[in-house]
Amino acid sequence: MIRIQDNTIRDGMQQSNVRKSLIIKKEVLKQINKLNINSVEVGMCTTIEDEFNIHQFRDILSPEKELVVLTRLNEKEIKKIVKLKIHNLVVKILLPISDLHIKEKLNFSNKYYIQKIKDCLDILKKDKKGVDICFEDATRTSREKLKEYMEIISKYQVRTVTFADTVGCSTPLEYGDIFNYFVKKYSNIIFSAHCHNDLGLATANTLAAILNGAKQIETTFLGIGERAGNAPIEEIITILTKKQIESTEFTLPDVYKTSINISKILDFQISENKPIIGENIFKHESGIHQDGTKKI
């Protein structure tokens, strides 16, 4: 059974042309909560306003669903999340992993960065909290670097590791190969796919991850997100179901209905030729196609 983590109200809201007030996010979350989603990533906890919002989301999300709070590699922020005392809360640490991010963006030496990772994980270990790790920019990171950091975090209570194709630069063959290697090496860890659609391959890359052992996928409704967006949940669920690749707890009518409802809440115009939910999906100009559709 594939686990689904919804990223609509966090990563999805990075898109510029959607409504994203707290009221809107809560309405979207109410729609998502009706489905058998395993977890929802709701945002970060860096301000008092963030903390207030997280409690608002907690009151909506069913207790059996995980409320995932993203955090930077920052001891103060992690301690703040732990103090929330929400029983279904999951801490997800964002770890930039490529040399470009570590050296240029963070300006950290490898030695300093590794110690900082250990210090933050020690906080969660003392609190007896499991933790999820998201390797940011994993697809532009060497295999040796990924192996080095996996070896470090595997010594802690890490439940899930996400290999994020942060800039959407990977192909299915490349992305699937990452999962194929690490799933075999770390059987006690759930590996998760998080794909961006810059090359139009977010859906294909997510499927490649599943076929190579990923047991969790991170998606957004309508594929919304920054730049070209994220992997659309409606596409992934439809493919998994129709092709009988993996079982899910979703019904296709419910996914379709939720997608349409969320588009209305966000005031987001769905392209007529968008796969699965676009208006043109069952329209044909060709007589041969019309005849075929009638017979299906």
pLDDT in tens, 99-134: 888 877 888 888 999 999 999 999 998 877 779 999
What are the structure tokens assigned to 212, written together?
A: 């190579």
Residue spans of the domains in the chain: they are 3-295
**Does the CA dihedral 157-203-35-210 come out positive or negative?**
negative
DSSP string, 2-56: -EEEE-TTTTGGGSTTS---HHHHHHHHHHHHTS--SEEEEEE--SHHHHHHHHH
pLDDT in tens, 30-58: 999 999 999 999 999 999 999 999 999 99
Q: Cα-flanking dihedrals φ and ψ of residue 103, to 5°? A: -85, -40
pLDDT in tens, 172-227: 999 999 999 999 999 999 999 999 999 999 999 999 999 999 999 999 999 999 99
CB 73 within 8 A of CB 97: no
Question: Which of 31-45, 88-102, 235-249 reaches the highest mean pLDDT?
Answer: 31-45
CB 235 within 8 A of CB 276: yes
The DSSP letter of residue 61 is: S
Query: Under CATH, which architecture does the 3-295 domain have?
Result: Alpha-Beta Barrel (3.20)
pLDDT in tens, 133-144: 999 999 999 999
CB 47 within 8 A of CB 71: no
Q: Which pLDDT does position 286 carry in this prediction? A: 57
The DSSP letter of residue 62 is: -
Q: Which amino acid is at 51?
A: E
Judged against a pLDDT cut of 50, whether residue 151 lies above it is answered with yes
Judged against a pLDDT cut of 90, whether residue 292 lies above it is answered with no
Mean pLDDT of the chain: 93
What percent of the chain shows pLDDT beyond 90?
Answer: 83
Side-chain-side CA neighbours of residue 90 (13 Å): 24
More confident residue, 74 or 284: 74
Q: Which pLDDT does position 293 carry in this prediction? A: 45
Q: How buried is 185 (Cβ within 10 angstroms: 0-12 exposed, 13-18 middle, 19+ buried)? A: exposed
Q: Which pLDDT does position 146 carry in this prediction? A: 97
Measure the CA–CA gap between 116 and 112, rounded to whole angstroms. 6
